[in-house]
Each structure stands twice: as structure tokens, then as C-alpha cells.
Amino acid sequence: MSTTTSSGVAKDRAPAGTPKVKQGRGVRGRTLNFWLFTGPFLIGLAVFVYIPIGWSAYLSFFEARYTVTPSTFVGFDNFTYMLTNEKFTDSLVTFTVFAAFIVPVTWAFSLGLAMMVNRLRFMRAFFRSVFFLPTAVSFVAASLIWKMSIFSGVRFGLANTVLGWFGVENIAWLANPNPPWYWLVIVTVRLWLQAGFYMILFLAALQNIPPELYEAAAIDGAKPGWQTFWYITLPQLRATSTAVILLLLVAAYQAFDEFFNLLAKTTWGRPPLVELYYTALGENQDYGAGSAGAMILTVLICCVTLLQGKFMGFGKGEQAK
């Protein structure tokens, strides 16, 4: 290793008998390797992420209808329009409701699955795979299955068929916002798709908890079950839980596919990305206002993430150990 570090230091530290190498070329070669492997990704990141973000920020100060080329400078008009746009502000409320529900439910559900699979004495790999497999299904495909097969409003939809056995009338799961059954459809599809992935994270964390801790707790008189879970397991999962909650929050902010596919042409149940999609595409083709909304949303996500990190102590899990 020392042969490929900075030449002067390497020479001094090289043990006797170390083969002579071309130091300068080593550095250059290493640099070349670095750019060779990271270059394409950096270029991709710049072209597909940073330049569009920059362009979007620039566009947000201009009138840009039916074009992504700025035409007239309008200052903060697009921001004012989006912040006073009831549909956009409603979408932020929709997100808050959605996140407030889906984050803790997915957290609890995936943790429960992980604990269940972890305790299995046989067929553990089978069940792990079964619960993880939905992760490979696309949100669009799952949404269509949920919409057309399970929660179709007609009598031969799966949910309505089952309810029919108990004499319950057909329910229009997605067409009617009163009562808001559409949340059940959205939450179940996301839970089915996501819980397996977070289960794997929790499973890994559970298997990292030293068994001595449980033995010591047992010696100290801790009862197996709820007491052990509360005082041993849960604190040991703090780092993973924090990461899972962060990932779930970000995923909730990015919610689009299931809302878009399940709730077409509604004015309710639109999270911010769906609202921005309708602002920039389809309806208005108003790329200036859409960009302003995207900027507002970006700032909001950054603030929430920082706050969440501060309150939950992201990265402090290791210290706690």
C-alpha cells in the first residue's frame, strides 16, 4: 500500500527489499482509476440531477408556458402563485396526513415481520423471501392490481365480494371521498410493497444484537416478551429505526405512482409530486410555476430531514451502543 502513496513519504517508509516502483505513475494511475470509475457517475449526476435542478431554479423566476426555455422574467410571481394555490397547499396537507400514518405503520409492521421471521426455527429463508418479494413489484403494476382486482367498486371486486358474503353493500373504494376509503387502498398497497424491504433492515439489526444482552437481562429478572422487547431490543434498534424512519419520510415525500394511478381526476388525495406533475404537465404545461413548486418542496424536504435528524439523533445510534 505504501508504494502507491505520495512519493517522498513512501520512500522513507518503504522496508528494505521492497521492489522499486514508478511512484509518479502510481499516483497518476490511481487518479485515472478514480476518474474512470467515478467519472461516468459524476457526469450522470451532473447531467441528470444537478443541471436540471439548476435549470429548474432558474426557470422558476420566468414565465415558461409550453416551453422549458424561459421567456419573460417574473421575479417571485411563480412562487407567490404556488404558495397561494389552494391545490398545492392542500397537497402538502395530503402529504402530512399520509406521512403521519404510513411512516409509523410501516415501521411497526416491518419490525413486527422481522421479529416474527427472526424467531422462526424453520423455513426462515422462505418467509423472508415471501415478505421481500413484493419489493420487486412496480408501484404502477401493484396500483393497477389493487384498483382493478381487489378494490374495484363493482360486485366482483375481491374486497366487495368478501364483504358481500357478510351482507355489506358494494363500496366505491376510490370514487367517493366520503368516507375516505381511498386511504385504505393507498396505505395497503404501499405497505405491501415496502414492508419487506424494511423488514430486511430490521432483520439484519436484530441479528446483530448480542445474545449475551438477553442472557444478562434474564439473569437480572427481565421477563421475556414485552419487557425484553422494550428495554433491550428496541434501544438496540435505535440506529436502524432512525434510518428506517428517515427513508420512510423521504419515500413518503416522493409518493407519486400509487396516488397518480389510483386517484386520477380527483381533487383530493394529491401529494405534492402529483400536484406538481399536473401543474407542469397535462393541464397547464406551466414549467415556471412547476419549477417554483419543486423549489419550495425541495426546501421543505431539506428542513424536515434536518429537523428529523436533530430530534431523532441520526447517527447517534452507534454512540448509544
Partner 1 sequence: MSALSNSNWDRRSVLRAAAGLAALGPLAACGGNTGREGGGSSGKNLTQYFHAYGEAGTEQAIKKYAAAYDGARVTTQWITGTNFESKLFSALLTKNAPDVFEFHPQIQMIKSGQVADLSDIMEPVKDDFNPADIASHTIDGKIWGVRMIDDPQFFYYRKSMLEKAGVEPPTTLDELVEAAAKLTTSKVKGVFLGNSITPVMNPLIWSTGANTLTDKNEIAYHTDEVAAGLKKLRTMFKSGHLLLDAPADWWDPSAITQGLVAIQWCGMWAMPVIQKALGDDVGIIPFPTSAEGGKPAVTNGGWSMFVNAKSKNVDLAKEYVKWLWIDQKKYQEDWSLSYGFHIPPRTSLAESATKLKSGLPAEGVKLFNEFGHFDNPAWTQAMIVALENVVADTVRKGGNPEAALDKADKIVNRELKKLFG
Binding site for partner 1 (CB under 8 A): 1, 4, 25-26, 28-30, 32-33, 36, 65-68, 86, 148, 151-155, 157, 169, 172-178, 264-268, 277-278, 281-285
Task: To the nearest 10°, report the CA torsion of 289, 295, 299, 302.
Answer: 130
Range 213-217 contact pairs with CB under 8 angstroms and sequence separation of 24 or more: none
Q: How far is the CB of 99 from partner 1 (least distance, A)?
A: 23
Q: Specify the DSSP element, H or E, that contains 112.
A: helix 86-119
Q: Is the Cα dihedral 162, 167, 170, 171 positive or negative?
A: negative
CB of 174 to partner 1, least distance (A): 5
In the complex, least distance from residue 271 CB atom to partner 1, rounded to whole angstroms: 16
Q: Which is nearer to partner 1, 18 or 129 (CB)?
A: 18
C-beta of 26 vs 235, nearer to partner 1 = 26
Provide long-range contacts, Cβ within 8 A and 24+ apart, for 30-36.
30/4
Question: Would you say 285 or 298 has its CB closer to partner 1?
Answer: 285
Nearest approach, Cβ of 90 to partner 1 (angstroms)?
Answer: 11
Q: Using only C-alpha atoms, what is the Rg of the chain?
A: 26
Taking the least distance from each CB to partner 1, the nearer of 52 and 235 is 52
Nearer to partner 1, 177 or 309 (CB): 177
For residue 308 the three cell numbers come to 428529523
Cα–Cα distance between 144 and 113 in angstroms, integer? 25
Minimum CB distance to partner 1 smaller for 157 or for 293: 157
Find cell 429478572 and name the residue.
221
Instruction: Name the minimum Å distance from CB 79 to partner 1.
Output: 16
Q: Which CB, 252 or 280, lies closer to partner 1? A: 280
Question: Within 10 A of 121 (CB to CB), how many other CB atoms are there?
Answer: 5
Smallest distance, Å, CB 105 to partner 1?
24
Q: How far is the CB of 228 from partner 1 (least distance, A)?
A: 44
**Contacts by 92-100, CB closer than 8 A, 24 or more apart:** 92/272, 92/300, 94/268, 94/269, 94/270, 94/271, 94/272, 95/252, 95/253, 95/255, 95/271, 95/272, 98/186, 98/252, 98/255, 98/271, 99/248, 99/249, 99/252, 99/253
- Closest contact distance (angstroms) between CB of 252 and partner 1 is 23
SS3 at position 260:
helix
The answer to whether the CB of 289 falls within 8 A of the CB of 82 is yes
Q: Which is nearer to partner 1, 93 or 130 (CB)?
A: 93
Which residues partner with 72 through β-bridges?
Answer: 63
